[in-house]
Amino acid sequence: MKVKKVTSSLYFIQRISSLIGVILLFIPAINPSRISGLIGKNLSIFTSGFFYSRLTQNFGRAFSKGWVGTMTTQVLFLSSMIVCIGFIICAAGACLSPGCLKMKKQGNILSVIGTVLALIGAYGIRWSQIDIKGTSNPDKVQPMESNALLIFIVLTLLILLTSLFLLILLPKPDKNEKYEMETKYKLFLLIMPFLILCFVFSYLPLFGWRYAFFDYKAGDSLSLDNFVGFKWFTYLFQNKSTRGDIVRVLRNTLAMSGLGLATSWCAMAFAIFLCEIKSLRLRRFIQTITTIPNFISWVLVFAVAFSIFSTDGFLSSILIKYGVIDNGVNYLMSNNHMWLKMLAWGMWKGLGWSAIIYIAAISGIDQQLFEAATVDGAGRFQRMWHITVPSLLPTFLVLLVMAIAGILSNGMDQYLVFQNAYNTDTVTVLDLYVYKLGINNGKIPLATVVGMAKSIVSIILLFGANKVSKIIRGNSII
């Protein structure tokens, strides 16, 4: 019992250390490979170990003048890669630890191998650090030392020691033992990559909200000298021009999102009618040709639109040929009915894809209901209205609630490619406005403030829609 308690504690330390080590691979502030001021401060050890051009992009003059040898950066590059591989192997070993004794042993062996590799990589980084200190021009090369390497070494030794102790304490597994793991751990490991992706792309970017409190320009560093508090928050409402832009952009965003919500039932209707087609071959053909547009980028969609609706496009050529018009017309430059045009392009691209979830829900409806309705004399449309539609309503309402929560997030790609000088006032939505503020105008703090406001409003809308759903339906989605 005592041994089991000790091994549980050791496994906890091993897993936490492996997790921290993998996370640190992607944090630029803790990069042991940054041994010179010429190495970008926004580089993590992962980038340093897998992208040599990024690591050495500022070393051109140092190489040509002989201040730094290429061997130093090559050793640094390979060492960083070895450290990354070592910690990834340690993480793989930790993932095997919830399994049977045989898997636990394999996991501990992997952790030992990973830590040995990480220590070899750490030695290589230290060698590069010492070598670069001997440069003939330290003022230009700017040799650096940090505690990041020590942090990685401590984590590595911690994983190594716990793995060795576990190999000693755990009993020897039976040779005939199968590789097995409890279902709950299997499911956790199955979902873990998606949790990591969600964290990296949804939660980690929230760290960038700090730019809203600084007078920041691209390339600057954040410090108390450029800290401005809530300056950009007040600027958003006090500046007349910005206030007018926000009103215009919100009008466009809410109008186009509102049209999307008003037509959200179309995917359900399309799925219902599609499933009523008796010919399986025809049904699959229609589903395929309506789903494929979802995988076409908006740039290619615009290229198709340009070839059809431009001055020399297919439509103008046909109309000129039959004498309807005398000169070609560029229909894409028109500002008329722009919201409806964007809605039409969006529906063409996403209708088939949006219908998939309803098709899956229809396949789950009990067929005995349809058979009983047929016996009672119900026609096809009566069966659709009284059986299919009520069965799909829960799915529709859940998707509607999610759409209401994302009413301010209607994307940027479509509007970016279709915008021009004539329609920019009606096609600029909130996401595109944030892009223009940050990338085109360089107002990164103001763009961050607008993005923060959008996220907060979206969360409020999500919980509000969820509350309404609970009142109407009796249950909520979150």
Q: Is residue 276 a contact partner of residue 389, using CB atoms and an 8 Å limit?
A: no
Which pair of structure tokens corresponds to residue 178? 């199968």
Helices (H) and strands (E) in the chain, counts: 23, 0
Hey, where are the domains in the chain? 2-181, 224-473
Cβ neighbours, 10 Å, residue 340? 11
Angle between helices 265-275 and 389-405 (to 10 degrees): 150
pLDDT at position 158, please?
Answer: 94
Q: Is residue 272 a contact partner of residue 283, using CB atoms and an 8 Å limit?
A: no
Residue 93 identity (one-letter amino acid): G
pLDDT at position 1, please?
Answer: 59
Kindly calculate the radius of gyration of the chain based on its CA atoms and give it in whole angstroms.
30
pLDDT class of 268 with cuts at 50, 70, 90: very high
Give pLDDT tens digits for 78-137: 999 999 999 999 999 998 888 888 888 888 999 999 999 999 999 999 999 998 888 888
Q: Is residue 296 a contact partner of residue 269, using CB atoms and an 8 Å limit?
A: no
Give pLDDT tens digits for 379-392: 888 888 989 999 99
Q: Is the pLDDT of residue 197 over 90?
A: no
Mean pLDDT of the chain: 87
Q: Find, among 452, 448, 476, the residue nearest to 464 by Cα.
A: 476
Q: How do the residues of the chain divide into helix, strand and coil, expressed in percent and rounded to 5? A: 75, 0, 25
CATH class of 224-473: mainly alpha
pLDDT at position 478, please?
Answer: 65
pLDDT at position 446, please?
Answer: 86
pLDDT class of 66 with cuts at 50, 70, 90: confident
C-alpha span between 119 and 113 (Å, rounded) = 10
- The highest-confidence range among 166-180, 217-231, 265-279, by mean pLDDT, is 265-279
Give pLDDT tens digits for 390-401: 999 888 988 888
The CA-based dihedral angle spanning residues 377, 381, 383, 388, taken in that order and rounded to the nearest 10 degrees: 180
Q: Find, among 195, 10, 204, the residue nearest to 93 by Cα.
A: 10
Element (H, E) at 467: helix 444-473
* Partners of 36 in the β-ladder: 143
Q: Is residue 252 a contact partner of residue 336, using CB atoms and an 8 Å limit?
A: no
The one-character DSSP state at 214 is B
Q: Is the pLDDT of residue 175 over 80?
A: no
Residue 185 identity (one-letter amino acid): Y
Query: Which has more confidence, 314 or 465?
Result: 314
pLDDT at position 344, please?
Answer: 92
C-alpha span between 476 and 478 (Å, rounded) = 6
pLDDT at position 274, please?
Answer: 92
pLDDT at position 329, please?
Answer: 84
Q: Find, among 85, 24, 18, 22, the residue nearest to 49 by Cα.
A: 85
> Which burial class, exposed, middle or buried, applies to 302 when counting CB atoms under 10 A from its CB (0-12, 13-18, 19+)?
middle
C-alpha span between 448 and 206 (Å, rounded) = 10
pLDDT at position 116, please?
Answer: 95
DSSP string, 152-198: HHHHHHHHHHHHHHHHHHSPPPPTT------HHHHHHHHHHHHHHHH
Q: Is the pLDDT of residue 30 over 80?
A: yes
pLDDT at position 477, please?
Answer: 66
C-alpha span between 263 and 345 (Å, rounded) = 13
C-alpha span between 105 and 91 (Å, rounded) = 14
The CA-based dihedral angle spanning residues 313, 318, 324, 325, taken in that order and rounded to the nearest 10 degrees: 30
